[in-house]
Amino acid sequence: MAVVSDNVANYTAAKKQISEKYEHIFNVRCIAHCLNLILHNIIKHPFANHLIRNCNSLALFFKQSTN
């Protein structure tokens, strides 16, 4: 068994209390939340923004070319 949540302080404290009382329940950080935070910062970078716009233009070109 595991408890999964984001890394907010009150959730972290609650998970710690659960893990201490019930040793068979693991305290697991949510990888999806961590990836979301990382990707949010990456998208802010000008290079990533430029790359995403170019990829969207390319995808739109191929999508419209089949019509």
Q: What is the pLDDT of residues 18-60, one digit of tens each?
A: 878 888 877 666 777 788 888 889 888 899 989 999 999 999 9
pLDDT at 5 over 70: no
Rounded to an integer, what distance in angstroms lies between the CA atom of residue 53 and that of residue 50? 5
Domain boundaries, the chain: 2-65
Contacts of 64 (CB under 8 A, 6+ apart): none
H or E stretch covering 62 = helix 46-65
